[in-house]
Amino acid sequence: MRCCSDAERQDGAAAHARRGRRARHLRAQRIGVRHVGVAGHGCQRGQATVEAAFLMPVILLAMLLLAQPAIILYDRAVMEAAAAEGCRMLETLAPGDEDAARAAVERRLDAIPDAPIFHSGGWAIELSGGEGQEYASVRIEHALEPLPLMGAGMGLLGLTGPGGLFTHDAFRQTEVVDAWVVESRLGADAEAWIGRWEEKA
């Protein structure tokens, strides 16, 4: 068996050392890439957290700005419908007999949740007119507590009253009989008109 010369042994050792350095270099490169990737993901997560912290107050404020008008408009729609129902009832009732009309209005108003942000306190309901009169009218008024932050802004604009409550009303008026009937000699008395026609017959 041939023995290796000193030169061959040195060449082999040098080649082995080069392979070892190359392997260590590649391993270091792979470790560095992993570390950079982990750091990059961490930076992205941190940036997303900071952006969310800035965006959350903006989103909440936008929701409040949209919710407050929606609550007021809902209340007004229910109040308008209740006032219209009350007017229809008054058209068939004698003046002063308003209990049935008031009960109809209150039933309609039950559609508004009994929560301070929708309704606070009692209802102020005014009814006038009735059968035989020219007009029948209903006015409904109530108050509500503005949403947080919105109350301060509405107060600065002078939209709130005592206790920081926002008050608004709905009014509906309908014509019961034509004006010429009321202004005529017989007026709106149905029996008088019937008697007049019977006389002519």
pLDDT at 56: 80
Q: Which residues pair with 141 in a beta bridge?
A: 124, 169
pLDDT, tens digit only, all 201 positions of the chain: 455 565 666 666 666 667 767 777 667 666 554 444 444 555 566 666 767 677 787 787 788 788 999 999 999 999 999 999 999 999 888 777 788 899 999 999 999 999 999 999 899 999 988 777 778 899 999 999 998 878 888 888 888 888 889 999 999 998 876 655 555 655 555 565 566 666 665
pLDDT at 36: 44
pLDDT at 118: 94
Q: What does each C-alpha distance from 28 to 21, 23, 81 come to in angstroms?
A: 10, 9, 77
Six-digit token pair at 172?
């509906």
Q: Are 118 and 143 in contact (CB under 8 A)?
A: no
Domain ranges of the chain: 59-200
Fill in the DSSP letter of residue 145.
Answer: P
Which residues are CB-contacts of 98 (< 8 A; sequence separation ≥ 6)?
90, 127, 130
pLDDT at 139: 97
Pairing state between β 166-175 and 135-144? antiparallel
Torsions phi, psi for 110 (to 5 deg):
-65, -15
